[in-house]
A and B are shown apart, each in its own frame.
Chain A
Amino acid sequence: MALTRLKHMKKTTRSNLITFGIVIVFYLVVEALMAGGLTSSSFEGQLVPICAYVVLAISLNLTVGFLGELSLGHAGFMSVGAFAGVLLWTVLGKTLPAYVALPLAFLAGGLVAGIFGVIVGVPVLRLSGDYLAIVTLAFGEIIKNIINACYLGYDENGLHFSLTDAASMGLAPDGTTLINGAMGITRITKASTFTMGIALVLITLVVILNLIHSRTGRAVMAIRDNEIAAQSVGVDLTRYKLTAFVISAVFAGFAGVLYALNYSSLVARRFDYNTSIQILVFVVLGGMGNIRGSIIAAALLTVLPEMLRGMDDYRMLIYAIVLIVMMIFNQSPQIVAWRKRVAARFTRKKGAPAPQKEVA
């Protein structure tokens, strides 16, 4: 019964269920392996970063794949989210129980990243063209440099803040330094777990998949396909662009909090241009507009450099080759046509006619 229902289901619903299924099965398999002591600490250590990168890739896919705008500053949103979340966690974590403080930290991270998304998006998304790429690129660098120069602490007189150095903060000797400039936030109580990471991935999937298949999502995709056509039928361009972009930023903020709470120190240098590009690579290789592809690409490409550790100096070389091969396999018209022919060979047995050779 259930199987026939699955067959008669709408194609998108089935595809979404498969995506959820992959994540849940991955979670159950890994938990079972961990319970049986069959995983290495190297693998266990990468589980939370994998979840964070998956959330980042899904959220960036919303901007790049569905909205069709290029964002090169996703790490910037991750950064502000991470710093906001960790600050709240260090301040509240001591007084409030974890099950209250943690969700608050995540909410703060998402909220702050969202606010920055609005600030960046409002002026830029009113324009059409590549402006978002330029502005987000600058945004990421600005955020990195500001946080790097930022000193924040508190004592009994309240908060102290400086952009020059620790001494000019004027902190009382018994005060606590929260952000120490280039040293960032240190001695964070680690809180991220794999279960939390998977929960965040599932929440992200629910929100973003539903958004894509809603009225808003169709409007967003209409803008991507043809802005003038979308405008002519009355789609409010700025509103829908902004909605997609801000939601993307909010989830980058959540991912930032998850990522930051997995380590004991947090520096803004980590969220530089390279990290933004890394996330973009996940999205492009997984397929723009393909959520499941983003998940798989993010997970694989996070684990890959560690799996190649045994190769020593050839590690970088092989990583680069894998990227190129994946790109050719996914995007090259000839290969795509060849993949279809191979797939057709398997399905032909069921009576389907051989497909015509595609003209690329």
Chain B
Amino acid sequence: MKKLMSAVLAGAMMLSLAACGSTADTTQSTSGSEAATGETTASATPIKLGGIGPVTGGNAQYGTAVQNGEQLAVDEINAAAGYTVFELQFEDDESDPETAVNAYNALKDWGMQVLLGAVTSDPSLNVASECVNDNMFMLTPSASAEDVALTGPNVFQMCFTDPNQGKTSAQYIADNNLGTNIGIIYDSSDPYSTGIYTAFVATAGELGLNIVAQPSFTADNKSDLSTQVAQCQDAGADLVFLPIYYNEASQILIAANSRGYTPTFFGCDGMDGILGVEGFDTSLANGLMMLCPFSAFGDDETTTTFVSAYEAAFDSTPNQFAADAYDCVYAIYQCVQDGTINGDMSASDMCDALVEAFGTMSFSGTTGENQTWDENGMISKEPKVYQIQDDAYVLVGEE
């Protein structure tokens, strides 16, 4: 009996704690926005932005970056305008396609008018088809699978598509003669990695690049990647292409270092963040090249403002996930300033207006100047190649 009582009491305590936590959060944010509204008379119905991404689970690092980026942009815009332009509600999807649809429905119940998500590819595919059904405008910061944008006319991407990255990387490597014997290490269980890999191999074939080794790993056996590194070394690869995320890439760099293997490493936008990996000797990343739209070390005004604000707010350096998410909000804000959309429009009307606007507009943000979207909703922006030198990104070709 005593045990039962203690269990019930413990449960009740947890519940009340949890309740306290969440109420405190909401009151804080509402009072903040009320204060902002109170200060000026100029106000309009706020536009409800929904965000979906993994803030728990294995991919939480990406979802959290996107959530932070979107929150930062919304706060900045609201503060600058003097009234609540945007309200942001971010829902967790644990990077699970089923939970993502649940999150989408929860946001719909909340009254979402524009969706800025989801973050990872599988959830985005499911959510995109819901958006097409409901005629809800969807702009994903980071879901780069080609099929996401191809789901429908109202689905747009802020990031490069995977095939585009693979193609551009191969083109760049061929144009600059970075390597004669190329090795590729990729994650065959990941759509991002296989998407880039497939396009890279196809373009490399057309350009006559010599691929000597292409070992792969899967999400289930990535704890030791030294075999894959050894395969590339034994095949004599002088350039290793890594279309993977930074955590696995850091292991590959460590494995290569311990074997005394020093090829040129070339990665894609998933590599951004490698300098922030905990316990990783960043000097190993010296010379690593990557195709990435964003650099936290950029010196243009948009980037420096964003990076310093982000560092002040979240105590960490933003990566391209955060930058793409930040740009998503500003791209929508550009349409608000144009008068294309306002908070009184229904989600469906807003979607039609935004689809038309995104077809013609040009947007400049932290991830590039004069970005435009094609009729499929895929973005076109200038690809940049950075090289890591002494814990900083240096734009290749600028010096």
Contacts and interface: CB of A to CB of B under 8 A. Distances in A.
A148 B108 CA distance: 32
Nearest to B90: A312
B21 A270 contact: no
B interface, over-half SS: helix
A179 B102 CA distance: 25
Interface stretch (B1-9, B230-238, B276-284): B1-9
Contact of B129 (A149, A190, A269, A270): A190
Nearest to B100: A263
Nearest to A190: B129
A305 to B, nearest CB: 8
Contacts of A183: 121, 145, 147, 191, 194-195
Contacts of A172: none
Nearest to A268: B189
B226 to A, nearest CB: 21
Contacts of A312: 21-22, 25
**B4, B91, B191: most-surrounded residue (chain A CB, <10 A):** B191
B147 A186 contact: yes
A193 interface: no
A186 B125 contact: yes
Contact of A334 (B3, B108, B109, B198): B3
Contacts of B145: 183
A317 B14 contact: yes
Interface in B197-224: 197-198, 201-202, 218-220
B319 interface: no
A270 B98 contact: yes
A187 interface: yes
Contact of B122 (A141, A267, A306, A325): A267
B101 A45 contact: yes
A334 B2 CA distance: 11
A243 interface: no
B11 interface: yes
A95 interface: no
B346 to A, nearest CB: 15
B188 interface: yes
Contact of B22 (A267, A306, A311): A311
A142 to B, nearest CB: 11
A328 interface: yes
A8 to B, nearest CB: 38
A264 B129 contact: yes
Contacts of A165: 194, 197-198, 201
Contacts of B8: 325
B106 interface: yes
Interface string A321-345: 1001100100000110010000000
Interface string B22-54: 100100000000000000000000000000000
Nearest to B57: A316
Interface in A176-206: 181-184, 186-187, 190
A252 to B, nearest CB: 16
Contact of A265 (B96, B102, B108, B125): B125
Nearest to A320: B14
B22 A310 contact: yes
B106 A270 contact: no
A309 interface: yes
B189 A167 contact: no
Interface in B116-134: 121-122, 125-126, 128-130
Nearest to A309: B106
Contact of B219 (A264, A269, A311, A317): A269
A313 B17 CA distance: 12
Given A186-B147, A187-B151, A141 B220 contact: yes
A302 to B, nearest CB: 10
A325 B7 contact: yes
Nearest to B3: A334
Nearest to A43: B105
Nearest to B145: A183
Contacts of B189: 145, 148-149, 182, 269
A186 B129 CA distance: 10
A41 B202 contact: no
Contacts of B96: 270
A264 B125 contact: yes
Nearest to A163: B188
A72 B97 CA distance: 22
Contact of A182 (B22, B105, B188): B188
Interface string A259-296: 00001110101100000000000000000000000000
Interface string B50-80: 0000001000000000000000000000000
A309 B4 contact: no
A221 interface: no
B345 interface: no
Contacts of B3: 334
B382 interface: no
B204 to A, nearest CB: 11
Contacts of B191: 182-183, 267
B201 A167 contact: yes
Given A270-B98, A334-B4, A338-B4, A311 B18 contact: yes
Contact of B1 (A182, A313, A325, A338): A338
Contact of B91 (A40, A309, A316, A325): A309
Contact of B188 (A181, A184, A264): A181
A318 interface: yes
20 contacts: A44-B105, A165-B198, A165-B201, A167-B202, A182-B194, A263-B126, A263-B129, A264-B128, A264-B130, A265-B126, A265-B147, A270-B98, A309-B91, A309-B92, A315-B92, A321-B14, A325-B8, A334-B1, A338-B1, A338-B4
Interface of A: 40-42, 44-46, 49, 141, 145, 148-149, 165-167, 181-184, 186-187, 190, 263-265, 267, 269-270, 305-306, 309-318, 321, 324-325, 328, 334-335, 338
